[in-house]
Amino acid sequence: MLNKVSRKLFEPVDVASLVFFRVAFGLIMLWEVFRYWPHIERYYLLPKFHFTFFGFGWVKVPAGDGMYYLYALLGILACFITLGLFYRVAAALYFLGLSYVFLLEKAYYLNHVYLICLISFLLVFIPCNRSFSLDALLNPKVRSRFVPAWCLWLLRVQVAIPYFYGGLAKLNADWLHGEPMRTWLAARTGAPYVGQYFTQESVVYLFSYGGLGFDLLIVPLLLVRRTRAFAYTFAVMFHLANAYFFSIGIFPWLMIAATSIFFLPNWPRRLLARVQRKEWHPEEEFSCMPQVTPLNRLLTTYFLVSYVSFQLLMPFRQALYPGNSSWTQEGHLFSWNMKLDRKEALTIFHVTDPDTKKTWEISLRRSLSILTSRQYANMTSEPEMILQFSHHLANGFKKGGFPDVEVRAHATVSLNGRPSQLLIDPSVNLAKVNARLWPPAPWILPLGASER
């Protein structure tokens, strides 16, 4: 069985669909650089404090104009990926550079940026430059119309995971009761032609259950040849609707391009032949594919099994924590929990000097002198970020001559329309609490009885 799977993974397939994805990916990443360029100062240079991911506190914003240089480099690398020039080096450097930017600020976490980091990592190993690239033009040894089948299937699996796990995550009471979709649609009643219907319950449930069904079924429908064209057309319409109604950046366009890899590997060549009105001769399509040594085959198989297993298991870690992960946020990130919650939150910190019993209240206005509005909005409903900011406050008071202050947080959150309730135990001195991945944090209060 294993030998049969291994042979299938190394069967030659046309590189054309991967070449199309390489070009589309590079162009979309270049667009992303232009989109973010005007916001670099506001996002990275103006804030006096940045929330870091656990274990990555050493990742710091470059000094001076370093962020501008980094984004310029990402733009250049995106061009190299598009053109297929120094492709593997460009993909590797792009992965490292984008991952560095991603790790700079936890408050800016987006699932699609995480997905882009994963895809750029995979492109280092997938030879998308074997055709229609400057590498293939300059170096005949690179040129080939074949790639091993695992290249295509690995990318397909990576694209399928956010779809499927995004659907699984929607199988919760809130989503099945129409939240937070009900609130989001109510805020968009001004949309031309269709906005007037967004307050109708039937439309709310149509969007909620339609999104759930799309995420769970789109990949199986794309894998079946008879339903593939219909599924892809529906996927394009779905993503275009998301781009129109919700501000989610490049994600719809990335997924439209990425989902195309579920078509037959030679679809770009067939389409080009049809446009040029040429007769299709598939036997003329292929050239020799570089031979793979038994050792490389074995190492590649181990890599594929390890990587896919990790990606499949990673989202389930949130089940190891008690309570609603949308509330506690424990295990919530990197699990493809997309658009599951809407929160209204307010956090006020109280800093107390145990010697003098003097207490300072750190209000919203005071916090915004240190954080951006986006940082503050995300922090107020994320316990680990509240903990990080508490340590930042304690360190600031220590430098001001108060070496052993106590920091407590009064954080109230409303999740998906529920009444506001305390998120953090207000009696706990957060300055003495250390961040950890396990066991679950006892200072996070459970979601109350108002849970649906």
Per-residue confidence at 449, pLDDT binned at 50, 70, 90?
Answer: very low
The mean of the pLDDT values for the chain is 91
Instruction: State whether the Cα torsion 172-173-179-181 is positive or negative.
Output: positive
Q: Measured between alpha carbons, how far is residue 261 from residues 19, 157, 187, 219, 267 in Å?
A: 10, 10, 35, 11, 9
Per-residue confidence at 247, pLDDT binned at 50, 70, 90?
Answer: confident
Digit-coded pLDDT (tens) for 91-114: 999 999 999 999 999 999 999 999
And the tokens for 15?
């590189």
What pLDDT, on a 0 to 100 scale, did the predictor assign at position 1? 60
Would strands 343-352 and 146-148 be described as parallel, antiparallel, or unpaired?
Answer: unpaired
Contacts with 428 (C-beta within 8 Å, 6 or more apart), sequence order: 408, 443
Please compute the mean of the pLDDT values over residues 36-49 and round it to a whole number: 93
By CB neighbour count within 10 A (0-12 exposed, 13-18 middle, 19+ buried), where does 219 fall?
A: buried
Q: Is the peptide bond before 282 cis (omega within 30 degrees of 0)?
A: no
Q: Is the pLDDT of residue 157 over 80?
A: yes
Triad 223, 250, 256: Cα angle to 5°: 20
What pLDDT, on a 0 to 100 scale, did the predictor assign at position 406? 96
Instruction: State whether the Cα torsion 433-54-110-390 is positive or negative.
Output: positive
Per-residue confidence at 297, pLDDT binned at 50, 70, 90?
Answer: confident
User: What is the pTM (predicted TM-score) of this model?
Assistant: 0.93
What pLDDT, on a 0 to 100 scale, did the predictor assign at position 102? 97
Q: Is the pLDDT of residue 83 over 90?
A: yes
And the tokens for 404?
């052993």
Q: Is the pLDDT of residue 452 over 50?
A: no
Please compute the mean of the pLDDT values over residues 75-89 and round it to a whole number: 98
- What strands, in cross-sheet order, belong to the sheet with 343-352? 359-362, 343-352, 406-415, 421-422
Helix (H, G, I), strand (E, B) or coil at 196: helix
Q: Which of 1-15, 51-65, 157-171, 205-219 has the lowest mean pLDDT?
A: 1-15
Q: Is the pLDDT of residue 367 over 70?
A: no
What pLDDT, on a 0 to 100 scale, did the predictor assign at position 85? 97
By CB neighbour count within 10 A (0-12 exposed, 13-18 middle, 19+ buried), where does 34 fall?
A: exposed
Per-residue confidence at 274, pLDDT binned at 50, 70, 90?
Answer: confident
Q: Is the pLDDT of residue 416 over 90?
A: yes
Rounded distance between C-alpha atoms, residue 211 and residue 189, angstroms: 19
Per-residue confidence at 290, pLDDT binned at 50, 70, 90?
Answer: low
Q: Is the peptide bond before 419 cis (omega within 30 degrees of 0)?
A: no
Digit-coded pLDDT (tens) for 7-33: 788 999 999 999 999 999 999 999 999
Place of tokens 């999104």: 211
And the tokens for 382?
């994320």
* Residues paired with residue 361 on neighbouring β-strands, in sequence order: 350
Q: Is the pLDDT of residue 66 over 60?
A: yes
Asked whether the beta carbons of 130 and 143 are under 8 A apart, the reply is yes
Per-residue confidence at 442, pLDDT binned at 50, 70, 90?
Answer: very high
Rounded distance between C-alpha atoms, residue 249 and residue 259, angstroms: 17
Highest mean pLDDT among 184-188, 257-261, 299-303: 257-261
Please compute the mean of the pLDDT values over residues 200-204 and round it to a whole number: 94
Place of tokens 């067939």: 270
Asked whether the beta carbons of 390 and 435 are under 8 A apart, the reply is no
Q: Measured between alpha carbons, how far is residue 47 from residues 44, 124, 173, 362 in Å?
A: 6, 33, 37, 17
Per-residue confidence at 450, pLDDT binned at 50, 70, 90?
Answer: very low
Q: Is the pLDDT of residue 364 over 80?
A: no
- Largest Cα–Cα separation, the chain: 88
What pLDDT, on a 0 to 100 scale, did the predictor assign at position 284? 46
Length of the chain: 452
DSSP state of 145: S
What pLDDT, on a 0 to 100 scale, did the predictor assign at position 366? 55
Please compute the mean of the pLDDT values over residues 371-388 and round it to a whole number: 92
CA 64, chain centre distance (Å): 28
Per-residue confidence at 285, pLDDT binned at 50, 70, 90?
Answer: very low
Asked whether the beta carbons of 352 and 345 are under 8 A apart, the reply is no
Q: Is the pLDDT of residue 337 over 70?
A: yes
